[in-house]
Amino acid sequence: MSTPPVERARSIATVCLSGSLEDKLTAASAAGFDGVEIFENDLIASAATPERIRAQCADLGLAIDLYQPFRDFEAVPRDVLRANLRRAEHKFDLMARLGADLALVCSSVSPEAVDDDDLAAEQLHDLAELAAGRGIRICYEALAWGRFVDTYERAWRIVRRADHPALGVCLDSFHILSRGGDPTTIRTIPAEKLFFLQLADAPRMNMDLLQWSRHHRLFPGQGEFDLAGFLGAVLAAGYAGPLSLEVFNDVFRQADPGPAAVDAMRSLLALEEAAVPAGPVVGGRSLPEPPELAGPAFVELGADAGAGERLGSTLAALGFRPAGRHRSKPVRLWEQGDARILVNTGPDRPEHRGGGALAAIGVHSADPRAATRRAEGLLAPVLPRSARPDEADLSSVAAPDGTALFFCRTGADRDASWLGDFDPEPGGTAGAGVTGIDHVAMTQPFDHFDEAILFYRSVLGLDPEPPVEFAAPFGLVRSRLVLDPGGTVRLALDSAVLRRGSWAPAVPNPQHVALSTDDVFATARAVRELGAPVVAIPDNYYDDLDARLELDPELAARLRECSVLYDRDARGEYLHFSVAVPGSRVFFEVVQRVGGYRGRGEHNTPVRMAAHRRRRLATGS
């Protein structure tokens, strides 16, 4: 008999969010959190009395799960201890007014502390005794940079030695995983001594632990730590308290707390799904499984009339044929092989002028309704439907950058699918060998990069590859590929690491749609004949390629002649060329994969970006 799924309390530290304490509490409640860790500085800066904050939390349905942090308490000389206990009593008074009964003590970084676990245990015992008299419990957390206590194993040895029922440990995934700690030995701690759990992810970095922790923590699923393994180990040890997020991050600290709290909740739900066999339960409902994807159905570009013309001629030059007009909307379908591009000249948005911009992606999934329910369960904004009664009932959700994501039924016949909404147009070109859509590269606003990774990872069940960074003509670019287990849907997300000044173009790295071919040279020749503006790649690139990879001279010559870029990895090869950007925001690339090559030629991107710029300066397009 399987155990019924449990709904765990979900909590968030106020330090994760921007604004006043009131802003933070409102956002946490709206995103569905059950509780908060109140960070001391947020309370100190608030004009509301502790009683008022307590009432606000109660009104918002938020428990105050933790009051934190109490610093630099233990292993100090007697006179310092006296002052520390006095300070603690003041905080216990405050906690009584707040109605909070769990306080966090983090391991000391004080120069006054001494390296003496017996003394630390004795003094924490005294503190716990004082707290217990007030109905308060203490959890002790090893900061990764604690002066002497910097591992959870040592914090637990001290807590065990102190042996007080009101004293337990607080586990924080960052402090443990940043130091390469082993979470599996958490099970040696009795469950009743696991008082609290803080969860944070982070990118892999080689930097000072304190700086890494205070600036670069991420919500689970956005970084590179094995949070699912960590949470699994903590739950296996019998921890039954709230799952709480504690993320110090420079971007989230400045972001609108409403969407940031939603991002946080999504991360927790996705983490529970990865760590707990029964998955998360929200309001008694569980989450449908990630959709089974079967490749992109279409890419939709938004354009004004002028941009629509330019996109149309670019597509025609790439061998696409106009294959249909939407029955009720100003949308044209362009088709070649399995590649379908929609050009929508309906909504007039600034970004659609000039050369158009990515507006939507459609993916084939076996059960679009379940996929939409999952997206809703993960708090993705569901977009209003605008279909007429006789049109396909397509559900879509908004990605963090506003791109609409449509779920289309795999294998539906034309009448039953979105294609049935188009009046077919006959005729057209013979094509240029494009067989489908290989990937879509989506430039993300820097502030939404991590959120976007998590969005696609959780909503679509895509797996992120490790991030790569490269130096491009207008600054460092961070790029991360997310793809489904079958490799049918690939999205490359990238972003400028820093944005400063006004020298760089407004859109330094436009989005692009990568079209697949089985013969990149044949397609390159065909599209040149059709008049496609293939971007010229300089000799320096090919000289370097030869130096690095010792290519077959015949292949090297063909690459050079056709301005085709090249990459290879242990599994295969990648050959690709680009055409000019018809405007500033979106362009097309044609790619050929040989063998099991996994990437998207990211190391060639700076060369391609420089080539695009040269062309723009020379021709104005």
Ligand X SMILES: O=C(O)c1ccc(O)c(O)c1
What are the residues binding Mg ion (CB under 5 A)? 172, 198, 246
Q: Which of 65, 126, 172, 450 binds ligand X (CB under 6 A)?
A: 172
Q: Report which residue type is found at 340.
A: R
Which x/- pattern over 108-147 shows residues binding ligand X (rule: CB under 6 A)?
A: ---------------------------------x-x----
- The reply, when asked if residue 554 is annotated as ligand binding, is no
Q: Which runs of E-coded beta strand occur in 380-433?
A: 395-398, 404-409, 422-424
CB of 172 to Mg ion, least distance (A): 4
Closest CA to 193 of 159, 162, 221, 227: 159
> What string marks each residue from 590 to 609 as x (binds ligand X by CB under 6 A) or -?
--------------------
Residue with tokens 């760089």: 504
The reply to whether 376 sits in an annotated binding site is no
**Smallest separation (angstroms) from ligand X to the CB of 521:** 55
- How near is the Cβ of 410 to Mg ion at its closest, in Å? 44
Angle between helices 227-236 and 257-275 (to 10 degrees): 60
Q: What single letter denotes the amino acid at residue 386?
A: S
The distance of closest approach from Cβ of residue 106 to ligand X in the complex, given in angstroms and rounded to an integer, is: 5
Q: How far is the CB of 166 from ligand X (least distance, A)?
A: 19
- Residue 69 binding result from Mg ion, ligand X, none, given CB thresholds of 5 to 8 Å by partner type: ligand X
Question: Is 68 among the residues that bind ligand X (CB under 6 A)?
Answer: yes
Shortest distance, position 187 Cβ to ligand X, whole Å: 22
Residue with tokens 């925001």: 585
Residue 214 binding target from Mg ion, ligand X, none, CB below 5 to 8 Å by type: ligand X
Rounded Cα distance, 122 and 74, in Å: 9
Our CB check for Mg ion shows the closer of 37 and 421 to be 37
Q: Does 246 bind ligand X (CB under 6 A)?
A: yes
Q: Cβ 239 to ligand X, closest distance in Å?
A: 16
User: 267 vs 584, which CB is nearer to ligand X?
Assistant: 267
Partner touching 213 among Mg ion, ligand X, none, CB below 5 to 8 Å by kind: ligand X
213 is a site residue for ligand X (CB under 6 A): yes
**Residue 512 among known ligand-binding residues:** yes
Name which of 213 and 396 has its Cβ closer to Mg ion.
213
Measured from the CB atom, the residue of 67 and 597 that comes closer to ligand X is 67
Nearest-CA neighbor of 314 among 533, 5, 86?
Answer: 533
- Report how far residue 37's alpha carbon sits from residue 63's, in angstroms, rounded to the nearest whole number: 9
Residue 175 CB, nearest approach to ligand X (Å): 6
Applying CB under 6 A, what is the total number of residues that bind ligand X?
A: 11
In the chain, what is the straight-line distance between the N-terminal and C-terminal CA atoms, in Å? 65
Helix axes 50-59, 21-30, angle to 10 degrees: 20
Nearest alpha-carbon partner for 454 in 224, 162, 137, 295: 224
* 246 labeled part of a ligand binding site: yes
Is 74 annotated to bind ligand? Answer: no
Residues between 531 and 570 with contacts to ligand X, criterion CB under 6 A: none
State how far the alpha carbon of 341 is from the alpha carbons of 163, 202, 299, 320, 361, in Å: 67, 37, 5, 9, 9
d(CA 362, CA 404): 8
Which CB, 105 or 591, lies closer to ligand X?
105
170 near 197, Cβ under 8 Å? yes
What is the token pair recorded at 32? 């569905």
Closest residue to ligand X using C-beta atoms: 69
Backbone angles phi, psi at 101, to 5 degrees: -125, 10
DSSP assignment of 87-149, as one string?
HHHHHHHHHHHHT--EEEEEPP--TT--S-HHHHHHHHHHHHHHHHTTT-EEEEE--TT-SS-
- Closest CA relative to residue 206, chosen from 228, 174, 172, 179: 179
Residue ranges for the known binding site are 141, 172, 198, 246, 439, 512, 589
Q: Which residues line the annotated binding site for a divalent metal cation? A: 141, 172, 198, 246
| Residues that constitute the known binding site for Mg(2+) | 439, 512, 589
Give the binding site for ligand X (CB under 6 A). Answer: 68-69, 104, 106, 141, 143, 172, 198, 213-214, 246
